[in-house]
């Protein structure tokens, strides 16, 4: 049993988190590297099938179930923990690192959950530890954003739980299996809704760009990887081929582009582009064919690496300059060449530029749309690819590293940050030139040629003319010191105002009631005073005869009552 538990990757990261939180610093640093390496080995060597189960309330919880797609996500999650740890370990606070490791451990737990109850447990742990990572930003804004994030995700967890319980009572099974057919029932919809909150689907996409950029320079790197992609894996496992996901995914794709175009904060631009990229994956899950699901999984793998790389680059800039707004930055390529070059490689990869990992993975999704004859989806994805180059591929590096000379001359990234960026930049190019090792890990056999001459011509035209559009339309994209309203306005402003109004209303009613009651009590006291004081009836001096008469009358009444009752 102990040996089984030590081969359980989530536990290895959770133990790592506990050591980081409590042990002296050198031991914690060692755990930060040994933990993910051990987990990586455990993931790599894990045999397929259910390998860890435990009885609970008459059920058998399948704590560890391994399949190719689960292993793929687990691999990239642990890789991310390892390289993220390298990026962060000298700069981040101990709480943040411990929370990040526990957060990664929870995400791994989701990867291997064989039943919905185990999934739910890790789902909630994921929400809690990611909230702590956000709070580690340490500012008042981080505290408030973390609180909004926590409330939303715990609510999402409740929706998921309600769906799971409904499914259990309807079907008698908690097994993780394809539930697309359950979308005729309320329970099926509740499960889907709970999962969709974590992929940042509409109408609640705003939590992502609200919360992630408030974390620290290092915290956002971890946050970008786990929550949304763990939810994508759950969608692949539970809802492949659910047609509604195609529409939701396409909405996310364009939502991300438009909001990123409007945004001024570099890290918030990258947060919006997470929604955009996850939109590609959600669309693919909705298409649901083998090629599409391969595409979703491959794209998630590539995305975690290049998105982390982009946020590392923005994080290094924030760490060195204390700034992340485009209006404050510019010209940094002169003194931060390593950060700039790595950022550009990440930007090319996210734009699915040929010879980067984005090209060899995202074009699988377009291929799937084509094979299913989804003309509109295919062309919308092509337009979106152009849009990604516009909002992330050029906009991010241009405004941060080139644009104008901001006069800032910061040092380049510290060595550990630079090393982490170089590793991930290397992987972006490696999987761009040689995607076969990645393709071999995909859930279905791959018959996909990433590079064909005609396809290269198509994508070079598409992307380079998007680049031309960027520079010609630059005057239209002048950065402004603004934020853009989103549906979170409803709970950040409207609900707030409503609550204030309601409180004020209640207070009004309460004070009116109190005034009325006080008035009444005063009247009563006044009446009592009138009766009992001065010349009042009860305070007057009475004649002896009158008093004797009253006393004798009362005595007679008493005697009468006595005889009647005896």
Partner 1 sequence: MTDQVHFLRRPATIRKLWILLWAVLALTVAAQVFIPVEGYFGVDGWFAFAAVFGFLSCAAMVFAAKALGALLKRKDDYYDR
Site residues (CB under 8 A) for partner 1? Answer: 141, 254, 257-258, 261-262, 264, 331, 333-334, 370, 375, 378-379, 382-383, 386-387, 390-391, 402, 405, 409, 453-454, 457-471, 473, 476-477, 480-486, 492-493
CB of 273 to partner 1, least distance (A): 13
Among residues 65 and 263, whose Cβ is nearest to partner 1?
Answer: 263
| Rg over CA atoms, the chain | 32
CB of 492 to partner 1, least distance (A): 6
Alpha carbon of 90 to those of 36, 86, 116, 339: distances in Å?
A: 17, 8, 38, 17
DSSP assignment of 286-310: HH-SHHHHHHHHHHHHHHHHHHHHH
Do 44 and 82 form a contact (C-beta atoms < 8 A)? Answer: no
User: Under 8 Å CB-to-CB from 144, ≥6 apart: which residues?
Assistant: none
Angstrom distance (rounded) from CA 221 to CA 137: 12
CB of 348 to partner 1, least distance (A): 15
Angle at 15 between CA 11 and CA 16, to 5 degrees: 115
Alpha carbon of 545 to those of 313, 399, 549, 552: distances in Å?
A: 106, 107, 6, 11
The token duo for 40 is 């990586």
CB of 217 to partner 1, least distance (A): 19
Among residues 300 and 329, whose Cβ is nearest to partner 1?
Answer: 329
CB of 75 to partner 1, least distance (A): 32
Among residues 30 and 261, whose Cβ is nearest to partner 1?
Answer: 261
CB of 390 to partner 1, least distance (A): 5
Angstrom distance (rounded) from CA 326 to CA 269: 10
Among residues 218 and 273, whose Cβ is nearest to partner 1?
Answer: 273
User: Under 8 Å CB-to-CB from 162, ≥6 apart: which residues?
Assistant: 187, 190, 194
Q: What burial letters (b/e) apply to 111-144, b meaning 16+ CB within 10 Å?
A: bbbbbbbbbbbbbbbbbbbbbbbbbbbeeeebee
CB of 143 to partner 1, least distance (A): 13
CB of 367 to partner 1, least distance (A): 9
Q: Which residues pair with 5 in a beta bridge?
A: none
Angle at 544 between CA 538 and CA 548, to 5 degrees: 85
Among residues 334 and 511, whose Cβ is nearest to partner 1?
Answer: 334
CB of 208 to partner 1, least distance (A): 16
Among residues 483 and 531, whose Cβ is nearest to partner 1?
Answer: 483
């Amino acid at each position: 049993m102990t040996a089984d538990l030590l081969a359980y990757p989530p536990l290895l990261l959770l133990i790592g988190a506990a050591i980081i939180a409590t042990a002296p610093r050198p031991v914690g640093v060692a755990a930060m590297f040994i933990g993910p390496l051990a987990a990586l080995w455990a993931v790599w060597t894990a045999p397929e099938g259910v390998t860890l189960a435990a009885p609970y309330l008459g059920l058998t919880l399948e704590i560890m179930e391994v399949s190719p797609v689960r292993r793929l996500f687990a691999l990239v999650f642990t890789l991310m923990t390892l390289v993220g740890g390298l990026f962060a370990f000298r700069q981040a606070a101990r709480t943040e690192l411990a929370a990040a490791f526990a957060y990664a451990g929870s995400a791994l737990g989701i990867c291997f959950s064989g039943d919905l109850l185990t999934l739910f447990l890790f789902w909630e742990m994921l929400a809690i530890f990611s909230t702590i990572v956000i709070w580690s930003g340490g500012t008042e804004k981080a505290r408030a954003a973390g609180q909004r994030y926590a409330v939303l995700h715990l609510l999402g967890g409740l929706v998921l739980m309600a769906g799971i319980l409904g499914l259990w009572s309807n079907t008698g099974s908690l097994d993780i299996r394809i539930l697309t057919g359950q979308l005729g029932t309320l329970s099926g919809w509740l499960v889907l809704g709970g999962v969709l909150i974590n992929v940042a689907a509409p109408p609640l996409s705003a939590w992502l760009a609200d919360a992630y950029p408030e974390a620290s320079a290092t915290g956002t790197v971890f946050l970008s990887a786990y929550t949304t992609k763990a939810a994508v894996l759950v969608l692949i496992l539970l809802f492949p081929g659910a047609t509604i996901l195609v529409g939701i995914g396409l909405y996310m794709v364009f939502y991300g582009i438009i909001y990123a175009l409007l945004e001024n904060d570099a890290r918030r631009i990258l947060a919006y582009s997470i929604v955009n990229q996850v939109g590609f994956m959600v669309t693919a899950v909705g298409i649901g064919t083998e090629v599409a699901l391969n595409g979703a999984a491959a794209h998630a793998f590539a995305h975690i690496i290049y998105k982390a790389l982009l946020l590392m680059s923005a994080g290094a800039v924030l760490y060195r300059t204390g700034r992340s707004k485009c209006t404050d930055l510019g010209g940094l390529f002169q003194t931060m060449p390593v950060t700039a070059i790595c950022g550009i490689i990440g930007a090319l990869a996210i734009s699915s530029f040929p010879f980067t990992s984005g090209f060899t993975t995202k074009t699988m999704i377009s291929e799937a749309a084509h094979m299913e004859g989804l003309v509109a989806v295919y062309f919308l994805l092509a337009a979106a690819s152009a849009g990604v180059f516009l909002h992330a591929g050029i906009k991010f590096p241009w405004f941060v590293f080139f644009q104008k000379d901001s006069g800032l001359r910061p040092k380049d990234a510290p060595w550990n940050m630079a090393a982490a960026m170089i590793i991930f930049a290397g992987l972006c190019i490696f999987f761009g030139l040689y995607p076969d090792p990645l393709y071999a890990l995909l859930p279905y056999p791959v018959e996909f040629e990433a590079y064909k001459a005609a396809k290269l011509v198509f994508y070079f035209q598409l992307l380079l003319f998007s680049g031309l559009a960027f520079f010609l339309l630059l005057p239209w994209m002048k950065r402004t010191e603004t934020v853009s309203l989103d549906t979170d306005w409803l709970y950040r402003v409207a609900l707030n105002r409503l609550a204030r109004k309601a409180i004020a209303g209640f207070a009004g009613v309460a004070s009116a009631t109190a005034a009325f009651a006080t008035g009444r009590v005063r009247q009563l006291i006044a009446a009592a005073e009138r009766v009992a004081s001065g010349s009042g009836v009860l305070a007057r001096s009475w004649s002896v005869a009158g008093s004797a008469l009253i006393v004798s009358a009362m005595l007679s009444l008493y005697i009468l009552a006595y005889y009647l009752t005896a």
